[in-house]
């Protein structure tokens, strides 16, 4: 009997105070509120941290003020002409001219070095740079501009730098290539073998000029050659104007050939050996170099791609036939 009573007593449910469910719910609600507060505080922290990170990244992408550092004392200004000269490249006329203008306008600039390392490119862009150099030299006659050639300065690059006061290069630099070319491919024979018919409709006798999928007409070839010869003569005229009496013309100087810097000195295409540091230190007399090169940041590149992607797609074939100085 005693054992039965003890078992019954142990099986009886534990009595809890009245209203205990409400207390549990209140504690759960308070715990939930505390957790939400902590999550909200961490959310605010990470948002502020991310915003600060974005600000730092934006500052780095935009870059330092023009000139690269505090412009104190006298210095040699540097502008880079690097890469293929084209409207859609870093070495376009707008960038180079903007850098040159900023360098000439800076009151502490003693002299300017245009450091060129380019295989050439658009004669139009090169002509813009050439004309602006002459204008700036006339406007600021006391500020000399020296071109310093790196690995190569050929064709359109030499077109542009021929306007400088003096040209410097390394003994092994590639200089010259004073000529013009226009290139493409013809696919007429391949299309015949494949059984492909070209259906080109035009309004205008020569609207299909230099179409790579149509046979080239003799009159089209003659007209293209006339264009090339005209641009070549413009190129030659600029070189003669820019180099003046220093130029020692030879029979093949304007044939499209290129030479080493050592040979170019004897031909009058280059004045002396030297790099940017040498020119700043020994020629300009201001060893400190301040970079005025205009470089696109990520926002400029994005805006340009957004605005020109369709135009580039539509004009690829036309732009591919634009004469290049090479």
CATH code: domain of residue 294: 3.90.226.10
Q: Is the pLDDT confidence value at 159 over 60?
A: yes
pLDDT of residue 11: 53
Minimum mean pLDDT among 246-250, 270-274, 300-304: which range? 300-304
Tokens describing residue 71: 């412009």
pLDDT of residue 310: 52
**Domain count for the chain:** 1
Count of C-beta atoms within a 10 Å radius of residue 124:
16
Query: What integer is the mean pLDDT of 123-133?
Result: 95
Comparing 199 with 69, the larger pLDDT belongs to 199
Domain membership of residue 37 (yes or no) is no
Comparing 47 with 101, the larger pLDDT belongs to 101
Q: Is the pLDDT confidence value at 268 over 90?
A: yes
Domain membership of residue 146 (yes or no) is yes
Strand, helix or coil for residue 212? coil
Domain membership of residue 296 (yes or no) is yes
Residue 325, beta-bridge partner list: 121
Residue 76 has phi, psi (to 5 degrees) of: -100, 125
- Report d(CA 64, CA 197) in Å as an integer: 57
Domain membership of residue 200 (yes or no) is yes
Domain membership of residue 34 (yes or no) is no
Domain membership of residue 201 (yes or no) is yes
Q: Where are the beta strands (DSSP E) in the chain?
A: 75-82, 109-118, 145-154, 166-169, 174-176, 258-260, 272-273, 289-291
Domain with 239 in it: 75-319
Q: Is the pLDDT confidence value at 7 over 60?
A: no
Domain membership of residue 275 (yes or no) is yes
Q: Is the pLDDT confidence value at 65 over 60?
A: no
Q: Is the pLDDT confidence value at 18 over 80?
A: no
Domain membership of residue 84 (yes or no) is yes
pLDDT of residue 162: 95
pLDDT of residue 35: 80
CA-closest candidate to residue 190, choices 216, 221, 212, 220: 212
Percent of the chain with pLDDT over 90: 52
Give the DSSP letter of residue 285. S
pLDDT class for 230, splitting at 50, 70, 90?
A: very high
Percent of the chain with pLDDT over 70: 79
| Ramachandran quadrant class, 257 (left: phi over 0; alpha: psi -120 to 50; beta: rest) | beta
Comparing 64 with 99, the larger pLDDT belongs to 99
Query: What integer is the mean pLDDT of 74-99?
Result: 93
- Report d(CA 161, CA 152) in Å as an integer: 12
């Amino acid at each position: 009997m005693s054992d039965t009573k003890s078992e019954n007593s142990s099986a009886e449910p534990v009595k809890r105070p009245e209203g205990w469910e409400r207390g549990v719910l209140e504690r759960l609600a308070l715990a939930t509120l505390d957790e939400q507060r902590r999550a909200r505080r961490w959310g605010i922290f990470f948002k502020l941290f991310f915003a600060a990170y974005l600000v730092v990244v934006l500052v780095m992408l935009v870059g330092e003020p023009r000139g690269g550092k505090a412009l104190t004392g006298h210095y040699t200004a540097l502008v880079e002409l690097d890469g293929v000269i084209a409207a859609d490249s870093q070495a376009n006329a707008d960038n180079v001219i903007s850098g040159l203008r900023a360098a000439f306008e800076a009151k502490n600039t003693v002299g300017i070095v245009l450091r060129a390392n380019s295989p050439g490119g658009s004669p139009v862009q090169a002509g813009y740079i050439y004309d602006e150099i002459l204008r700036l030299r006339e406007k600021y006659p006391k500020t000399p501009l020296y071109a310093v050639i790196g690995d190569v300065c050929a064709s359109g690059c030499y077109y542009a730098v021929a306007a400088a006061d003096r040209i410097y290069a390394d003994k092994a630099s590639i200089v010259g290539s004073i000529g013009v070319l226009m290139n493409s491919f013809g696919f007429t024979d391949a299309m015949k073998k494949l059984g492909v018919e070209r259906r080109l409709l035009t309004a205008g006798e020569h609207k299909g000029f230099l179409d790579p999928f149509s046979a080239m007409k003799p009159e089209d070839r003659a007209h293209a050659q006339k264009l090339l010869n005209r641009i070549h003569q413009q190129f030659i005229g600029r070189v003669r104007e820019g180099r003046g009496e220093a130029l020692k013309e030879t029979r093949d100087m304007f044939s499209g050939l290129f030479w080493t810097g050592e040979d170019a000195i004897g031909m009058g295409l280059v004045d002396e050996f030297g790099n940017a540091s040498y020119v700043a230190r020994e020629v300009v007399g201001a060893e400190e170099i301040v970079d005025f090169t205009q470089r696109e940041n990520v926002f400029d590149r994005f805006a340009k791609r957004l605005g020109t992607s369709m135009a580039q797609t539509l004009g690829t074939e036309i732009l591919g036939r634009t004469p290049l100085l090479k």
